[in-house]
Homo-oligomer: A and B are copies of this chain.
Protein backbone atom coordinates (compact mmCIF):
# COMPACT_ATOMS: atom_id res chain seq x y z
CA UNK A 1 0.00 0.00 0.00
CA UNK A 2 2.42 2.74 1.06
CA UNK A 3 4.81 3.60 -1.68
CA UNK A 4 8.50 3.17 -1.07
CA UNK A 5 10.90 4.36 -3.74
CA UNK A 6 7.79 5.41 -5.68
CA UNK A 7 6.96 1.75 -6.29
CA UNK A 8 3.77 0.16 -5.14
CA UNK A 9 5.00 -2.59 -2.81
CA UNK A 10 3.31 -5.78 -1.81
CA UNK A 11 4.34 -8.10 1.03
CA UNK A 12 5.46 -10.97 -1.21
CA UNK A 13 6.56 -11.18 -4.83
CA UNK A 14 8.72 -13.19 -7.21
CA UNK A 15 12.13 -11.62 -7.78
CA UNK A 16 12.42 -9.64 -10.99
CA UNK A 17 14.48 -11.64 -13.45
CA UNK A 18 14.71 -14.79 -11.29
CA UNK A 19 11.51 -16.72 -10.79
CA UNK A 20 13.32 -19.21 -8.52
CA UNK A 21 13.52 -16.59 -5.77
CA UNK A 22 10.54 -15.43 -3.74
CA UNK A 23 10.97 -12.15 -1.85
CA UNK A 24 9.15 -10.91 1.25
CA UNK A 25 9.37 -7.90 3.54
CA UNK A 26 11.11 -9.02 6.75
CA UNK A 27 8.42 -7.90 9.18
CA UNK A 28 10.55 -8.65 12.23
CA UNK A 29 12.56 -5.55 11.39
CA UNK A 30 9.53 -3.25 11.08
CA UNK A 31 8.84 -0.52 12.03
CA UNK A 32 12.51 0.21 12.60
CA UNK A 33 13.97 -1.00 9.32
CA UNK A 34 12.63 -2.01 5.91
CA UNK A 35 14.46 -5.11 4.69
CA UNK A 36 13.68 -7.67 2.01
CA UNK A 37 14.27 -11.37 2.61
CA UNK A 38 15.00 -13.91 -0.16
CA UNK A 39 13.29 -17.29 0.06
CA UNK A 40 14.90 -19.92 -2.16
CA UNK A 41 13.97 -23.18 -0.36
CA UNK A 42 10.92 -24.65 1.37
CA UNK A 43 12.83 -24.62 4.63
CA UNK A 44 13.49 -20.92 4.28
CA UNK A 45 9.80 -20.36 3.61
CA UNK A 46 8.90 -22.48 6.67
CA UNK A 47 11.40 -20.57 8.82
CA UNK A 48 10.04 -17.23 7.58
CA UNK A 49 6.57 -18.31 8.74
CA UNK A 50 7.72 -19.86 12.02
CA UNK A 51 9.98 -16.96 13.02
CA UNK A 52 7.34 -14.47 11.88
CA UNK A 53 9.34 -12.71 9.21
CA UNK A 54 5.96 -13.08 7.51
CA UNK A 55 2.76 -13.29 9.53
CA UNK A 56 -0.94 -12.61 9.22
CA UNK A 57 -3.58 -15.04 8.00
CA UNK A 58 -3.48 -14.19 4.30
CA UNK A 59 0.26 -13.75 3.96
CA UNK A 60 0.97 -17.00 5.81
CA UNK A 61 -1.26 -18.76 3.29
CA UNK A 62 0.37 -17.19 0.25
CA UNK A 63 3.88 -17.75 1.64
CA UNK A 64 3.01 -21.41 2.17
CA UNK A 65 1.74 -21.49 -1.41
CA UNK A 66 5.09 -20.19 -2.66
CA UNK A 67 6.87 -22.50 -0.19
CA UNK A 68 5.21 -25.41 -1.98
CA UNK A 69 6.34 -24.01 -5.33
CA UNK A 70 9.90 -23.90 -3.95
CA UNK A 71 9.42 -27.52 -2.83
CA UNK A 72 8.46 -28.44 -6.39
CA UNK A 73 11.61 -26.71 -7.64
CA UNK A 74 13.85 -28.61 -5.22
CA UNK A 75 12.07 -32.00 -5.42
CA UNK A 76 13.95 -34.92 -7.03
CA UNK A 77 12.95 -35.21 -10.66
CA UNK A 78 11.88 -38.82 -10.41
CA UNK A 79 9.01 -40.96 -9.05
CA UNK A 80 9.46 -39.54 -5.54
CA UNK A 81 8.55 -36.00 -6.67
CA UNK A 82 5.01 -35.97 -5.25
CA UNK A 83 6.16 -37.63 -2.04
CA UNK A 84 8.82 -34.94 -1.55
CA UNK A 85 6.28 -32.16 -2.06
CA UNK A 86 3.88 -33.87 0.33
CA UNK A 87 6.52 -34.01 3.08
CA UNK A 88 7.47 -30.38 2.46
CA UNK A 89 3.81 -29.55 3.01
CA UNK A 90 3.89 -31.30 6.37
CA UNK A 91 6.88 -29.18 7.42
CA UNK A 92 5.13 -26.02 6.33
CA UNK A 93 1.88 -26.94 8.11
CA UNK A 94 3.73 -27.61 11.38
CA UNK A 95 5.05 -24.06 11.62
CA UNK A 96 1.88 -22.36 12.89
CA UNK A 97 -1.12 -24.46 13.89
CA UNK A 98 -3.80 -21.77 14.27
CA UNK A 99 -3.99 -20.06 10.87
CA UNK A 100 -6.25 -22.16 8.68
CA UNK A 101 -5.04 -20.45 5.50
CA UNK A 102 -1.72 -22.24 5.93
CA UNK A 103 -3.07 -25.80 5.87
CA UNK A 104 -5.49 -24.87 3.12
CA UNK A 105 -2.76 -23.43 0.87
CA UNK A 106 -0.64 -26.54 1.34
CA UNK A 107 -3.52 -28.86 0.50
CA UNK A 108 -4.44 -26.87 -2.58
CA UNK A 109 -0.89 -27.09 -3.87
CA UNK A 110 -0.73 -30.83 -3.25
CA UNK A 111 -3.89 -31.25 -5.28
CA UNK A 112 -2.52 -29.09 -8.10
CA UNK A 113 0.79 -30.96 -8.20
CA UNK A 114 -0.89 -34.36 -8.13
CA UNK A 115 -3.24 -33.38 -10.96
CA UNK A 116 -0.40 -32.41 -13.30
CA UNK A 117 1.34 -35.22 -15.17
CA UNK A 118 4.92 -34.34 -16.07
CA UNK A 119 7.40 -32.87 -13.62
CA UNK A 120 7.64 -29.68 -15.65
CA UNK A 121 3.85 -29.39 -15.54
CA UNK A 122 3.82 -30.00 -11.78
CA UNK A 123 6.31 -27.18 -11.19
CA UNK A 124 4.37 -24.92 -13.47
CA UNK A 125 1.09 -25.84 -11.73
CA UNK A 126 2.60 -24.99 -8.32
CA UNK A 127 3.81 -21.64 -9.64
CA UNK A 128 0.47 -20.80 -11.20
CA UNK A 129 -1.44 -21.86 -8.08
CA UNK A 130 0.71 -19.59 -5.91
CA UNK A 131 0.05 -16.72 -8.32
CA UNK A 132 -3.67 -17.47 -8.17
CA UNK A 133 -3.54 -17.30 -4.38
CA UNK A 134 -1.91 -13.87 -4.61
CA UNK A 135 -4.57 -12.63 -7.00
CA UNK A 136 -7.41 -14.06 -4.90
CA UNK A 137 -5.96 -12.48 -1.76
CA UNK A 138 -5.71 -9.09 -3.45
CA UNK A 139 -9.24 -9.34 -4.87
CA UNK A 140 -10.70 -10.43 -1.51
CA UNK A 141 -9.10 -7.54 0.36
CA UNK A 142 -10.29 -5.05 -2.25
CA UNK A 143 -13.86 -6.31 -2.00
CA UNK A 144 -13.73 -6.41 1.82
CA UNK A 145 -12.67 -2.78 1.65
CA UNK A 146 -15.66 -1.90 -0.54
CA UNK A 147 -18.15 -3.66 1.73
CA UNK A 148 -16.63 -2.27 4.93
CA UNK A 149 -16.59 1.20 3.41
CA UNK A 150 -20.40 1.22 3.46
CA UNK A 151 -20.37 0.92 7.27
CA UNK A 152 -17.79 3.68 7.65
CA UNK A 153 -19.72 5.93 5.27
CA UNK A 154 -22.92 5.41 7.21
CA UNK A 155 -21.28 6.36 10.50
CA UNK A 156 -19.63 9.35 8.84
CA UNK A 157 -23.03 10.57 7.62
CA UNK A 158 -24.55 10.07 11.08
CA UNK A 159 -21.68 12.09 12.59
CA UNK A 160 -22.17 14.76 9.93
CA UNK A 161 -18.66 14.30 8.60
CA UNK A 162 -16.86 14.35 11.96
CA UNK A 163 -13.99 11.82 12.07
CA UNK A 164 -15.02 8.18 12.35
CA UNK A 165 -12.98 6.57 15.13
CA UNK A 166 -12.08 2.97 14.36
CA UNK A 167 -10.26 0.78 16.86
CA UNK A 168 -8.23 -2.21 15.75
CA UNK A 169 -6.16 -4.89 17.45
CA UNK A 170 -3.02 -6.54 16.10
CA UNK A 171 -2.30 -6.21 12.38
CA UNK A 172 -4.80 -7.28 9.78
CA UNK A 173 -3.45 -4.63 7.47
CA UNK A 174 -1.76 -4.99 4.14
CA UNK A 175 1.27 -6.45 5.90
CA UNK A 176 -0.89 -9.41 6.98
CA UNK A 177 -2.02 -10.05 3.42
CA UNK A 178 -0.61 -9.27 0.02
CA UNK A 179 -2.17 -5.83 -0.27
CA UNK A 180 -4.70 -3.53 1.52
CA UNK A 181 -5.40 -6.01 4.33
CA UNK A 182 -8.78 -6.93 5.78
CA UNK A 183 -9.43 -4.92 8.96
CA UNK A 184 -7.67 -1.91 7.44
CA UNK A 185 -9.18 -2.26 3.93
CA UNK A 186 -12.32 -0.25 4.83
CA UNK A 187 -10.09 2.36 6.52
CA UNK A 188 -7.93 2.79 3.42
CA UNK A 189 -11.02 2.81 1.19
CA UNK A 190 -12.63 5.53 3.31
CA UNK A 191 -9.41 7.55 3.55
CA UNK A 192 -8.92 7.44 -0.22
CA UNK A 193 -12.48 8.64 -0.67
CA UNK A 194 -11.83 11.65 1.55
CA UNK A 195 -13.90 10.46 4.51
CA UNK A 196 -12.40 11.62 7.81
CA UNK A 197 -11.14 8.63 9.79
CA UNK A 198 -8.95 8.16 12.85
CA UNK A 199 -7.65 4.80 14.03
CA UNK A 200 -6.99 3.72 17.62
CA UNK A 201 -4.19 1.17 17.34
CA UNK A 202 -3.92 -1.27 20.26
CA UNK A 203 -0.22 -2.07 20.54
CA UNK A 204 -0.90 -5.84 20.83
CA UNK A 205 1.57 -7.33 23.22
CA UNK A 206 3.60 -9.43 23.28
CA UNK A 207 4.79 -8.93 19.71
CA UNK A 208 3.44 -5.42 19.24
CA UNK A 209 2.04 -5.97 15.77
CA UNK A 210 -0.32 -3.07 16.41
CA UNK A 211 2.30 -0.52 17.42
CA UNK A 212 4.93 -1.97 15.15
CA UNK A 213 3.04 -2.86 11.99
CA UNK A 214 -0.44 -1.30 11.90
CA UNK A 215 0.80 2.09 13.10
CA UNK A 216 3.64 1.93 10.58
CA UNK A 217 1.24 1.14 7.73
CA UNK A 218 -1.10 3.96 8.72
CA UNK A 219 1.74 6.42 9.17
CA UNK A 220 3.21 5.55 5.76
CA UNK A 221 -0.23 6.03 4.23
CA UNK A 222 -0.93 9.28 6.09
CA UNK A 223 -3.98 7.98 7.96
CA UNK A 224 -4.52 9.75 11.33
CA UNK A 225 -4.05 7.37 14.24
CA UNK A 226 -2.97 7.01 17.87
CA UNK A 227 -1.29 4.06 19.50
CA UNK A 228 -2.66 2.97 22.87
CA UNK A 229 -1.73 0.09 25.13
CA UNK A 230 -4.11 -2.86 24.90
CA UNK A 231 -5.28 -1.99 28.40
CA UNK A 232 -6.63 1.37 27.21
CA UNK A 233 -9.07 -0.06 24.66
CA UNK A 234 -11.80 -0.20 27.31
CA UNK A 235 -11.14 3.36 28.44
CA UNK A 236 -11.52 4.94 25.01
CA UNK A 237 -14.76 3.04 24.42
CA UNK A 238 -16.08 4.01 27.86
CA UNK A 239 -15.49 7.64 26.97
CA UNK A 240 -17.33 7.54 23.64
CA UNK A 241 -14.14 7.84 21.60
CA UNK A 242 -14.71 4.78 19.41
CA UNK A 243 -17.37 4.42 16.69
CA UNK A 244 -16.54 0.90 15.59
CA UNK A 245 -14.02 -1.89 16.07
CA UNK A 246 -12.66 -3.90 13.14
CA UNK A 247 -10.24 -6.78 13.62
CA UNK A 248 -9.04 -9.63 11.46
CA UNK A 249 -9.13 -13.33 12.26
CA UNK A 250 -6.82 -16.30 11.90
CA UNK A 251 -9.73 -18.72 11.77
CA UNK A 252 -13.48 -18.32 12.16
CA UNK A 253 -15.81 -21.25 12.71
CA UNK A 254 -18.95 -21.93 10.68
CA UNK A 255 -20.92 -20.71 13.74
CA UNK A 256 -19.09 -17.36 13.76
CA UNK A 257 -16.65 -17.86 16.64
CA UNK A 258 -13.62 -15.71 15.85
CA UNK A 259 -10.13 -16.88 16.66
CA UNK A 260 -7.71 -13.97 16.50
CA UNK A 261 -4.64 -12.54 18.19
CA UNK A 262 -4.63 -12.80 21.97
CA UNK A 263 -6.59 -9.92 23.51
CA UNK A 264 -9.24 -9.65 20.80
CA UNK A 265 -11.72 -11.27 23.19
CA UNK A 266 -11.19 -8.62 25.89
CA UNK A 267 -11.56 -5.88 23.28
CA UNK A 268 -14.80 -7.45 22.00
CA UNK A 269 -16.14 -7.56 25.57
CA UNK A 270 -15.40 -3.85 25.99
CA UNK A 271 -17.13 -3.10 22.67
CA UNK A 272 -20.22 -5.03 23.73
CA UNK A 273 -20.31 -3.35 27.14
CA UNK A 274 -20.25 0.08 25.49
CA UNK A 275 -22.55 -0.59 22.55
CA UNK A 276 -19.71 -0.18 20.05
CA UNK A 277 -20.18 -2.32 16.91
CA UNK A 278 -17.52 -5.02 16.66
CA UNK A 279 -16.77 -6.20 13.11
CA UNK A 280 -14.42 -8.90 11.91
CA UNK A 281 -13.06 -8.59 8.37
CA UNK A 282 -12.02 -11.81 6.67
CA UNK A 283 -11.59 -13.52 3.36
CA UNK A 284 -13.59 -16.75 3.19
CA UNK A 285 -10.25 -18.59 3.16
CA UNK A 286 -10.15 -17.94 6.92
CA UNK A 287 -13.47 -19.74 7.49
CA UNK A 288 -13.16 -23.21 8.97
CA UNK A 289 -16.13 -25.10 7.54
CA UNK A 290 -15.62 -28.01 9.91
CA UNK A 291 -15.26 -26.28 13.28
CA UNK A 292 -18.32 -25.28 15.29
CA UNK A 293 -17.06 -24.40 18.79
CA UNK A 294 -14.12 -22.03 18.54
CA UNK A 295 -13.01 -22.39 22.15
CA UNK A 296 -12.77 -26.17 22.21
CA UNK A 297 -12.03 -26.98 18.57
CA UNK A 298 -9.41 -24.49 17.39
CA UNK A 299 -5.84 -25.37 18.38
CA UNK A 300 -4.21 -22.40 20.15
CA UNK A 301 -0.50 -21.97 19.62
CA UNK A 302 1.56 -21.40 22.76
CA UNK A 303 4.71 -19.50 21.92
CA UNK A 304 8.05 -18.92 23.64
CA UNK A 305 7.53 -17.32 27.10
CA UNK A 306 10.50 -15.06 26.38
CA UNK A 307 8.16 -12.98 24.22
CA UNK A 308 6.26 -12.13 27.41
CA UNK A 309 9.24 -11.53 29.69
CA UNK A 310 11.00 -9.41 27.09
CA UNK A 311 10.28 -6.58 24.67
CA UNK A 312 11.94 -5.77 21.38
CA UNK A 313 12.67 -2.35 19.97
CA UNK A 314 15.15 0.23 18.84
CA UNK A 315 18.09 1.48 20.88
CA UNK A 316 20.71 3.74 19.35
CA UNK A 317 19.75 2.62 15.84
CA UNK A 318 19.91 -1.10 16.63
CA UNK A 319 17.07 -3.56 17.27
CA UNK A 320 17.57 -5.06 20.74
CA UNK A 321 15.63 -7.30 23.06
CA UNK A 322 15.34 -6.28 26.71
CA UNK A 323 14.14 -8.16 29.77
CA UNK A 324 11.09 -6.57 31.39
CA UNK A 325 10.28 -9.26 33.96
CA UNK A 326 12.41 -10.45 36.88
CA UNK A 327 14.89 -13.26 36.37
CA UNK A 328 13.28 -16.44 37.61
CA UNK A 329 9.62 -15.50 37.13
CA UNK A 330 7.96 -17.93 34.72
CA UNK A 331 5.55 -16.81 32.00
CA UNK A 332 2.99 -18.33 29.64
CA UNK A 333 2.45 -17.12 26.11
CA UNK A 334 -0.92 -17.99 24.60
CA UNK A 335 -0.94 -16.49 21.13
CA UNK A 336 -4.64 -16.41 20.24
CA UNK A 337 -8.03 -16.33 21.88
CA UNK A 338 -11.57 -16.91 20.69
CA UNK A 339 -14.25 -14.23 20.60
CA UNK A 340 -17.61 -15.99 20.78
CA UNK A 341 -19.99 -15.21 17.90
CA UNK A 342 -22.42 -13.53 20.33
CA UNK A 343 -19.97 -10.63 20.72
CA UNK A 344 -19.50 -10.07 16.98
CA UNK A 345 -21.74 -7.52 15.23
CA UNK A 346 -20.92 -8.76 11.76
CA UNK A 347 -18.43 -10.43 9.45
CA UNK A 348 -17.13 -8.37 6.53
CA UNK A 349 -16.26 -10.84 3.77
CA UNK A 350 -15.42 -10.56 0.09
CA UNK A 351 -19.05 -11.36 -0.71
CA UNK A 352 -20.58 -8.83 1.67
CA UNK A 353 -21.44 -8.42 5.35
CA UNK A 354 -23.25 -11.11 7.30
CA UNK A 355 -24.16 -12.03 10.85
CA UNK A 356 -21.59 -14.06 12.77
CA UNK A 357 -23.78 -17.16 12.75
CA UNK A 358 -24.24 -20.33 10.76
CA UNK A 359 -27.26 -18.83 8.99
CA UNK A 360 -25.43 -15.60 8.27
CA UNK A 361 -22.37 -17.33 6.86
CA UNK A 362 -24.46 -19.80 4.85
CA UNK A 363 -26.43 -16.97 3.29
CA UNK A 364 -23.24 -15.63 1.70
CA UNK A 365 -21.57 -18.98 1.08
CA UNK A 366 -24.45 -21.33 0.22
CA UNK A 367 -22.09 -23.77 -1.49
CA UNK A 368 -20.81 -24.75 1.98
CA UNK A 369 -24.28 -25.17 3.50
Q: Of residues 318 to 338 in A, which have CB atoms within 8 Å of B's CB atoms?
A: 320-334, 337-338
Given contacts A211-B309, A219-B328, A233-B266, 9 further A-B pairs with CB under 8 A are: A203-B205, A205-B230, A211-B329, A226-B330, A227-B309, A232-B334, A235-B262, A269-B270, A312-B324
A211 and B229 CA atoms in complex are apart in Å by: 15
Nearest opposing residue in chain B for A314, CB measure: B323
Contact between chains at B311 and A311 (CB < 8 Å): yes
Contact between chains at A337 and B238 (CB < 8 Å): yes
Contact between chains at B313 and A310 (CB < 8 Å): yes
Nearest opposing residue in chain B for A201, CB measure: B329
Tell yes or no: A295 within 8 A of B by CB: yes
Tell yes or no: A191 within 8 A of B by CB: no
Tell yes or no: A212 within 8 A of B by CB: yes
A120 to chain B, nearest CB (A): 45
Chain B neighbourhood of A232, CB < 8 A: 262-263, 332-334, 337
A231 and B365 CA atoms in complex are apart in Å by: 32
A227-B329, A311-B324, A325-B215 known; A269 vs B334 contact (CB < 8 Å): no
Contact between chains at B334 and A228 (CB < 8 Å): yes
Chain B neighbourhood of A333, CB < 8 A: 228-229, 232
Provide the main secondary structure of the chain A interface.
mixed
Chain B neighbourhood of A330, CB < 8 A: 225-227
A305 to chain B, nearest CB (A): 8
Nearest opposing residue in chain B for A319, CB measure: B322
Chain B neighbourhood of A329, CB < 8 A: 31, 201, 211, 215-216, 218-219, 225, 227
A206 to chain B, nearest CB (A): 5
Q: Mark A241-256, 1 if CB is under 8 A from B, else 0.
A: 0000000000000000
Q: Mark A28-68, 1 if CB is under 8 A from B, else 0.
A: 00111000000000000000000000000000000000000
Tell yes or no: A234 within 8 A of B by CB: yes
Tell yes or no: A98 within 8 A of B by CB: no
Contact between chains at A325 and B212 (CB < 8 Å): yes
Q: Of residues 322 to 361 in A, which have CB atoms within 8 Å of B's CB atoms?
A: 322-334, 337-338
From A204, A226, A269, A323, residue with most partner B Cβ within 10 Å: A269
A201 and B236 CA atoms in complex are apart in Å by: 24
The 9 A-B residue pairs with the shortest CB-CB distance, nearest first, are: A231-B263, A313-B322, A31-B326, A311-B311, A269-B269, A227-B331, A215-B329, A313-B324, A234-B265
